[in-house]
Amino acid sequence: MATPSIKLCDFSESYMPDMPDPPELGSPHILRPPEGILTDLPHATLASDIWALTVAIYQVLTSGFLLFSELDDGILEAMVLTLGKFPEPLWSKWAHRAKFFDDEGNPATKTFWGVSGTASRTTFSENLQCWTTDLDKISALAAMFESMAQYDAESRCPARDLVQSEWMTKYCRPYMADNVILPTERTKLKINTPTYFPDDCDLGPPLPIPTSVIK
């Protein structure tokens, strides 16, 4: 992290927040928040990105899968087992919930190959114990995950607060280069629009070229 070389590919999914017609939501379901599975979320949002980041960070750090399943019902079941019952109207929108939980959100008894049992509830802290035995690290990372994976989209920790969390400042910042700055506010992009096509080239209006980033 001291001299990172990072390449990003957005698969044509990213967009500026003020775009009038953003691209449709294309996130894999394993990265989607519950509203991205149970409702018709038209496009990615800052809040849905924070949820996806929770899953991605867990996968990178532990080489495991958080809320993993190939099917939507399995993903939703893992969410409820880890985070509790969905609030309304999400709970009622889950058509197959009765196969996994009762009306109070308690795991239902299921039978596989003649053996009956119920799924176990878990927490972020318990899940992280397979990755490290350092209780301080587990506590800091679990607290960050809990702030990010909120069912209420508006309650999810924004990125500007995320970089100031205990996990980021205590366990990530020491490994970063000295010139890496953790922002405390969003940056604004300053755009100049020079013409860079030949005069006789008819390719439509010139595209804006980002020339500098200012705080």
Q: What is the pTM of this model?
A: 0.75
> 75: closest CA among 48, 93, 58, 100?
100
pLDDT at 213 over 70: no
pLDDT of residue 208: 46
Report the run of H or E that residue 190 belongs to, with start and end.
strand 188-192
Q: What is the pLDDT of residues 46-77, one digit of tens each?
A: 999 999 999 989 888 877 666 667 789 999 99
> 81: closest CA among 110, 53, 52, 115?
110
User: 78 CB contacts (<8 Å, ≥6 apart)?
Assistant: 66, 67, 68, 69
CATH architecture of the domain with range 29-185: Orthogonal Bundle (1.10)
Contact 11, 128 (CB under 8 A): no
pLDDT at 132 over 90: no
**Per-domain boundaries in the chain:** 29-185
Query: What torsion, rounded to 10 degrees, do the Cα atoms 147, 149, 153, 156 define?
Result: 20
pLDDT at 36 over 90: yes
Task: Using the structure block, give the residue that is written with the tokens 């039978």.
Answer: 111
Report residue 117's pLDDT band, with 50, 70 and 90 as the boundaries: confident
> 98: closest CA among 89, 88, 108, 90?
108
Question: Tell me, what amino acid is at 59?
Answer: Q
User: What is the spatial distance between Cα 56 and Cα 77, in angstroms, rounded to a whole number?
Assistant: 19
User: What is the spatial distance between Cα 64 and Cα 23, in angstroms, rounded to a whole number?
Assistant: 30
pLDDT of residue 103: 94
